[in-house]
């Protein structure tokens, strides 16, 4: 693959880079970010509200070690501020369609609690967007910044959340 890239001229590289940015903006952010620059300890907004394991400045403390995951982008490129995040993960119409499809395929009843249904669908949408189809029993942790943006839009009335459940098959 490296030889193929080396054989491209500047115009071809620009075209390839534009395709990459359109298909996978989060990967493009990773490539453009200077991971070694900055303060090295993560970005902390005024008041120091983000945990020390957070790079993007939008994470909040999580109850378990396994859930203490950040998108690892710089503050200006946090996964939660990407336009694709709003469309694919947070949009009410996209979530309704994804929910209806899942209920139809698996013959599931609709959830009476719309916020809970949207929250769980948003988590699934995030995982599908970032990791693709995982298969039965395979689970991925959603970064804290994304979890809290989803929870803020679709809150539980009592502030009670299940959190990450590791695979039952492992």
Q: Write out the residue range of the structural domain in which residue 120 sits.
A: 42-170
pLDDT at 44: 38
Domain tally for the chain? 2
What's the predicted TM-score (pTM) here?
0.71
Are residues 20 and 67 part of one domain? no
Quick check: helix, strand or coil at residue 112? coil
**Coil, strand or helix: which one is 66?**
helix
Confidence of residue 126 (pLDDT cuts 50, 70, 90): very high
Identify the pLDDT of residue 60: 95
b/e map 30-45, b = 16+ CB within 10 Å: eeebeeeeeeeebbee
* Same-domain check for residues 26 and 52: no
Asked whether residue 120 is assigned to any structural domain, the reply reads yes
In a domain, 37, yes or no: no
Residues 63 and 113 placed together within one structural domain of the fold: yes
Task: Say if residue 46's pLDDT is above 90.
Answer: no
| 130 lies in some domain | yes
Q: What is the pLDDT of residue 39?
A: 38
């Amino acid at each position: 693959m490296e030889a193929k890239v080396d054989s491209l001229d500047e115009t071809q590289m620009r075209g390839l880079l534009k395709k990459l940015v359109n298909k996978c903006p989060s990967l493009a952010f990773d490539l453009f970010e200077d991971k070694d620059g900055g303060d090295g300890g993560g970005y902390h907004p005024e008041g120091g509200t983000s945990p020390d394991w957070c790079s993007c400045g939008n994470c909040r403390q999580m109850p378990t070690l396994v859930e203490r995951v950040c998108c690892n982008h710089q503050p200006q490129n946090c996964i939660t501020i990407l336009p694709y995040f709003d469309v694919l993960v947070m949009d009410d119409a996209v979530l309704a369609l994804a929910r209806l499809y899942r209920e139809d395929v698996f013959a599931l009843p609709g959830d009476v609690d719309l916020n809970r249904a949207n929250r769980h669908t948003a988590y699934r949408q995030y995982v599908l967007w970032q990791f693709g189809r995982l298969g039965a029993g395979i689970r991925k942790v959603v970064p804290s910044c994304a979890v809290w943006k989803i929870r803020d839009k679709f809150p539980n009335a009592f502030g009670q959340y299940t959190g990450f459940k590791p695979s039952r098959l492992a």
